[in-house]
Every structure is written in C-alpha cells, then in structure tokens.
C-alpha cells in the first residue's frame, strides 16, 4: 500500500510536470493573440502529426464516428474504432462549438485539455507501477522522475553534430516519456492502461489460479491500449510471453497462475486484435496506409548513445532484480521487458522503433535502484545516519538524476523559444488561414484541393476539404503524388496533361508508372472508389518556393497553368484558382 503522504507527493509531481509542459503552450497561444502575422497551430513539435490528430478530432466534431483518410483525395471506406479517443473528444467539441471558423482553435484547446488529463492519469499510474517494485519512498520518487523526464545524450547531437539524424530520445516518444507528456495524449493514455493492466496481471497469494475481477480489468485496460494504438496489442502479447518465459527460467518452474491470467487477458483482447488485422488487410486504403507507415529504427549506435547513461545507472541493480525475481514473479517482467526491447526494435517490420513502447519504465526502476546502491552508502540507504557525508551522497544522486533530464530541458527551452520567436511550422501565416476560411465558406465538404505538402497538411485542420498531398502515411502513394504536384506548380505539364491531371482518378493514371505489378490489385481497388477531380488550386509562398527552389522574389503571374484556371481569391499573397 502507498501511504497518503506519498500519493500527495506523486500528485504534486504530476501537477508540476503538467504546469511545466503547459507553460510553452500558454506562451505560444499568447503570442498568437499579439501577432497579426502568424497563428499558433497548437503544436510545439511533430507539427505534421499533431495536425493529423486535430484533423481526426475535426472528423468527430463534424458528427462522424468512423475514421477515414482525409489526407488523400480518394474516397476511402471508413472504419470503426480507429483513433477513437480523438474522434470521441472531437464529438464533444462539436457539440459545444457550432461556428466553423472558431472550430480549429476550439480543437487545439481541447487537445491540450486532453493532454493534461492523460498526463495526470499516466504519471499517477506510473507511480503505482513503480511502487510494485521499489519499497523506499525516496527511490520510488527518483524512479518516477527518471521514467517521466529522463532522456539520453540527444541534446548533445544538437549542440555538437555527430552525424546523427534522429536521436531516439529526441524523436522516439515510445522509448521515453517526455515527448508523450509534452504533446501525445493518446500515447499517455495507452501507456497508463498498459501499466495498470500489467499490475492486474500479477498473481497474489489470495487469488492464484482463479480468474477474478482484476483479470477482467486487465482485459478492459488492454483493450483501451488497442483503441489508442492498435498494434500495441501485439506488444502486450510479446510482453506477456517474455514475462512468463523469464519467470520459468529464473524460478525453474512453470508460472501456472501467471499463464492462466495472461491467456485469459489475451482472449479478452483477441476480438479487437482480430478486427484491427482484418480492416488493415481487407480495406485496400488502410492496407496501403499501413504499408507506407515506415518507422525504421535508427542505427544501433544512436540507441547506445540514447540509453547508455540509463543502462550504466541501472547496471548495479540487475543482480538485485534477478535475485528478487526468484521469489516474486513481477520482477521477471522487468528482466524480460529489458531483454525483449532491443530485439523488438530491429524486427523486420516497418514500425520497428515504436516497439520500444514503455521500455523507459523498467529501465528507470533499475536506474533508480542502481543510483541508490552505487551512490549511497548502506547506512544512508537505511536512513540510519544524517551526517554531512550522507547529505553529500544524496546531493550527488540528485545531480545525477537532474543531468539525466537535460533532454526534457532542451525540449522545454525549444518550446519557449518557438513562442517568443514565432515562425513556421509552429506558427502559420495569417494569410493562409484566411484563405482556408474562404474555402470553408465557399467550397462544399470533401472538395479536393491541390496545394504544397505543407499547406495540404494544414488543410483538414481548418476546413472540411481534402488535400491532394499532406501526410506521408495517410496520403496514398504520397511520393509520386508529390512529384506530380511539383511538376504542375513548376509549369512542366502540357495543357492536355493538366486537363487529365485535374479530371482523372488520382491513383490510376498518374501513379501507375510508380507502382509495381504486385500493388496493382490494391491500386485498382482504391482507384475505383471515386473520381477525385481537383477543384481548387492554392498558390502561396510554399507552392512557389518548393516549385521554384530559389530565394528570389516570387515571380509574377506568368505561368501557363494560371491562364487555364479561374482566379477566385487573391489576398495577402495567397491565390486560389478554381478548375473550370
């Protein structure tokens, strides 16, 4: 049992983290109100993905319960239970906000409220999980800090480039926690449900061999995980398997009680898992989306740089964890999780790096125990002395833990600087937002719009329209479409090619040269869904720069394609053309 005093401390820490991560957003929203030239888009990192979450909330605000791809011009068959948390919150926002022009800002605020609520739940569940393995209140608190805020040496690669492209502690939220609490509420909710479900799986002397409400509770919680991130169910199955296998090896007897619980819980989640497999294999658009969702792991040396310090701190505790695992089966989970994670992230699948989900938690538990054993004397650990030497030891431990949190400091500083020095992509020019508002008022829902990748990524947040390109995984065949987009803006198409480009089915004529025979059946199924004729063309700074590729002043209106279309909007450097 955790005493009330400890819970108050954990709640205080959770509130501290929430306030700390909310300050940069508050500054950015405030800068938005005082800056006439830019509008804050609601995200301080991962802007493209954040816009996709807002677009999913907008689907819910429009009264839709099913998810469909809005970042591709093809009409795709919608499916239930995909991105349900965002769609559900969007439904609530839609019930409260009826003004289309105010909806984007309302969605951004709702996203922050959702983030704060998910963070509080996650941090408190995290503390409960840590308490299952650590008895000392001080060490529990250290583990909580490390599991929430710790990173690696990724910040060094920013100050001193080392050839790293995407350091895990800067770019892989699944492998750490700070980016999750900073701006990914569905992952915070998923991890909270994962940890609480694992707690419910731990057999106790009074209920061994019986299926009780805790097992049913674990099944419900793991289904919540699957609703937040579908393929995390596979991660849960792996964790259950390695947990049981590790316990079997260490304790030298088959963990029957744990196995019965794990089988029962997996059976409770199997319908949702089977449903997700079904829709992502039989729905051609979803299958292509899944195939395009490439999240490969970085080179091994980058993982080493990200986790070396934490592993170094944790190393002195490994023997202790193994010794405890001989008598308490939950410690086998820690060992199995740490062994499985390095293998999972290099499995030959396209979402490798996301399989590091939650590994920071067992690593932080071991690191906190390692700090306790390595930096504090036995007497200090037992609380038997309070000499100057003991105080120095405690301060050394605090400094080490604080050093491990520098990556979080880096992200917070970056957020504050983004608020004080507004610029793209965190802030969007007011001119393009006004153009979106014109389109929302004058175009019918689901109208197809041709724009640059950057502009297309924003379009479904501010309008009910659909871009030709805008988001890697969710724009079907995004790369060849992007190539055709720049051919058009660079005026490299003949009049006949332009006419065919505007009127033809997008995935059929233009993409066929880029797709091999193996993908042709999927191509035909998607192409037959709808004739995705482009009806509007946006031409602003993004479209000009990406097509022209120079820093010169934007060229005058002397492009052939402009003469073939009808100019319907021209304000503040943004033009909208209607396709006849």
Highest mean pLDDT among 81-90, 383-392, 471-480 belongs to 81-90
- Mean per-residue pLDDT of the chain: 89
Co-location of 474 and 406 in the same domain: no
Residue 216 resides in a domain: yes
Residue 16 resides in a domain: no
Q: What pLDDT digit, counting tens, does each position of 314-324 carry? A: 999 999 999 99
Range of the domain at 285: 132-416
Q: What would the mean pLDDT of 187-212 be, rounded to a whole number?
A: 83
Question: What is the helix (H) or strand (E) element at residue 368, kind and residue range?
Answer: helix 360-375
Decide: 468 and 534 in contact? Cβ < 8 Å. yes
Co-location of 205 and 338 in the same domain: yes
Among candidate residues 391, 416, 441, the one where a domain is terminated: 416
Q: What pLDDT digit, counting tens, does each position of 4-62 carry? A: 999 999 999 999 999 999 999 999 999 876 566 689 999 999 999 999 999 999 999 99
Among candidate residues 416, 440, 459, the one where a domain is terminated: 416
- Considering its fold, how many domains does the chain have in total? 2
Residue 206 contacts by C-beta under 8 Å, 6 or more apart in sequence?
none
Co-location of 453 and 319 in the same domain: no
Residue 83 resides in a domain: no
Q: How far is 67 from 91, CA to CA, in rounded Å?
A: 13
Co-location of 401 and 452 in the same domain: no
Co-location of 385 and 471 in the same domain: no
Among candidate residues 389, 416, 443, the one where a domain is terminated: 416
**pLDDT greater than 50 at residue 489:** yes
Q: How far is 524 from 418, CA to CA, in rounded Å?
A: 44
Co-location of 348 and 432 in the same domain: no
Residue 61 resides in a domain: no
Long-range contacts of 138-143 (CB under 8 A, 24+ apart): 139/368, 139/369, 139/371, 139/372, 140/6, 140/368, 141/9, 141/10, 141/13, 142/368, 142/371, 142/372, 142/397, 142/401, 143/364, 143/365, 143/367, 143/368, 143/369
Residue 91 contacts by C-beta under 8 Å, 6 or more apart in sequence?
60, 61, 63, 65
Co-location of 384 and 471 in the same domain: no
Q: What pLDDT digit, counting tens, does each position of 68-123 carry? A: 999 999 888 999 999 999 999 999 999 999 998 999 999 999 999 999 999 999 99
Q: How far is 313 from 404, CA to CA, in rounded Å?
A: 10
Co-location of 312 and 213 in the same domain: yes
Co-location of 409 and 431 in the same domain: no
Co-location of 378 and 484 in the same domain: no
Phi/psi for 428 (5° steps) reads -110, 140
The pLDDT value given to residue 544:
84
Residue 24 resides in a domain: no
Residue 514 resides in a domain: yes
Residue 62 resides in a domain: no
Co-location of 446 and 487 in the same domain: yes
Residue 125 resides in a domain: no
Co-location of 337 and 410 in the same domain: yes
Q: What pLDDT digit, counting tens, does each position of 506-530 carry? A: 655 555 555 554 554 555 555 444 5
């Amino acid at each position: 049992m955790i005493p009330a005093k400890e819970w108050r401390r954990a709640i205080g820490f959770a509130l501290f983290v929430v306030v700390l991560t909310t300050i940069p957003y508050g500054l950015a929203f405030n800068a938005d109100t005082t800056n006439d030239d830019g509008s804050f888009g609601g995200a301080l990192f991962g802007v493209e993905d954040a816009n996709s979450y807002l677009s999913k909330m907008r689907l819910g605000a429009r009264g839709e319960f099913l998810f469909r791809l809005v970042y591709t011009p093809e009409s795709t068959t919608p499916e239930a239970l995909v991105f349900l948390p965002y769609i559900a919150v969007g439904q609530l926002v839609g019930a409260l906000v009826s003004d289309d022009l105010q909806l984007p800002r309302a969605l951004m605020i709702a996203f922050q409220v959702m983030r704060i609520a998910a963070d509080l739940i996650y941090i408190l569940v995290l503390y409960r999980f840590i308490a299952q393995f650590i008895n000392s209140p001080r060490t529990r608190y250290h583990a909580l800090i490390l599991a929430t805020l710790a990173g690696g040496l990724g910040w060094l690669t920013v100050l001193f480039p080392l050839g790293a492209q995407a350091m895990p502690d800067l770019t892989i939220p699944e492998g750490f926690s700070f980016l999750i609490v900073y701006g990914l509420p569905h992952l915070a909710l998923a991890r909270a449900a994962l940890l609480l479900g694992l707690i419910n799986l731990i057999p106790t002397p009074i209920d061994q061999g019986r299926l009780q409400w805790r097992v049913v509770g674990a099944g419900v919680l793991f289904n919540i995980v699957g609703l937040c991130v579908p393929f995390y169910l596979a991660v849960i199955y792996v964790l259950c398997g390695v947990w049981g296998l590790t316990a079997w090896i260490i304790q030298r007897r088959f963990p029957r009680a744990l196995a019965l619980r794990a089988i029962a819980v997996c059976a409770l989640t199997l319908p949702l898992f089977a449903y997700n497999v079904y829709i992502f294999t039989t729905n051609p658009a979803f299958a292509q989306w899944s195939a395009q969702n490439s999240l490969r792991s970085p080179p091994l040396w980058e993982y080493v740089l990200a986790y070396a310090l934490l592993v170094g701190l944790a190393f002195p505790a490994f023997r202790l964890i193994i010794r405890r695992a001989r008598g308490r089966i939950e410690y086998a989970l820690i060992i199995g999780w740490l062994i499985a994670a390095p293998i999972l992230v290099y499995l030959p699948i396209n979402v490798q790096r996301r399989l590091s989900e939650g590994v920071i938690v067992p690593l932080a538990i071991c690191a906190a125990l390692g700090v306790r054993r390595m930096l504090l004397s036995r007497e200090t650990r037992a609380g038997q002395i309070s000499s100057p030497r003991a105080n120095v030891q405690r301060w050394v431990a605090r400094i080490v833990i604080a050093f491990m949190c520098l990556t979080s400091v880096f992200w917070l500083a970056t957020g504050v600087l983004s608020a004080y020095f507004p610029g793209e992509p965190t802030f969007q020019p007011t001119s393009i937002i006004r153009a979106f508002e014109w389109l929302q008022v004058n175009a019918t829902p689901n109208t197809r719009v041709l724009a640059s990748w950057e502009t297309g990524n924003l379009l479904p947040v501010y309008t009910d329209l659909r871009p030709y390109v805008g988001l890697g995984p969710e724009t079907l065949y995004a790369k060849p479409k992007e190539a055709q987009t720049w051919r058009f803006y660079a005026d490299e198409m003949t009049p006949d090619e332009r006419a065919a480009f505007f009127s033809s089915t997008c995935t059929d004529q233009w993409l066929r040269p880029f797709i091999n025979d193996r993908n042709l059946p999927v191509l035909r199924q998607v192409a037959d869904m709808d004739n995705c004729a482009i009806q509007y063309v946006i031409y602003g700074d993004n479209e000009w720069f990406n097509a022209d590729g120079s820093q010169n002043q934007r060229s005058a209106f002397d492009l052939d394609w402009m003469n073939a279309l009808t100019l319907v909007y021209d304000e503040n450097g943004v033009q909208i053309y209607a396709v006849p």
